[in-house]
Amino acid sequence: MFAGALAMTQTFAQSTNAKSTNLAVTDEELMKYATATDSVNEMLANVRIDLTEMVKQSNVMSGARYNELSKIVDDPAKLATAQATPEEIAFVKQVNAKRDEEMAKVNTTYQSLAKEYVTGATFNKVKKALANDPKVKKRYDSLMVELGKDDPSTDQ
């Protein structure tokens, strides 16, 4: 994935309109930021897919029932009103625990990529440029489309 991403950097020309080279976002910086973001997006998609499968394969409840109870699982009065069984409550809590565990992994990976692969200074520079420079945002969006072509959620 990284090799393909690096090859794509050569297709995006650097902005020659930037007045200060210190503030301009290079293709390499933008590619690293986009690659890190895409990696995290893929992880998030995999978490969604895994949790959806966990609910679909459940013998305890339907997906609709899971959605209903997941919103109220921490409110005993609402659970009683919904007539939630102990098995249903335990299953929702099991799915939530799995989600929390996987999200912790995603967060750790995101922080690691931001600090070590992109670097903190570059991460902040690109993030700021994305918020303030439509040309950088357009370049980034193009990269994300290309990088997103291997997103696992598109395989479903």
**What does the block give as tokens for 77?**
């009065």
Helix 63-70 crosses helix 27-56 at what angle (to 10 degrees)? 110
Digit-coded pLDDT (tens) for 75-128: 999 999 999 999 999 999 999 999 999 999 999 999 999 999 999 999 999 999
The reported pTM is: 0.75
Domain ranges for the chain, please list them.
Answer: 2-9+27-155
pLDDT band at 150 (very low <50, low <70, confident <90, very high): confident
- Cβ(40)–Cβ(113) below 8 Å: yes
Q: What's at 114, amino acid-wise?
A: A
| 8-state DSSP, 70 | H
Digit-coded pLDDT (tens) for 12-61: 333 333 333 457 999 999 999 999 999 999 999 999 999 999 999 999 99
For range 131-135, the mean pLDDT: 96
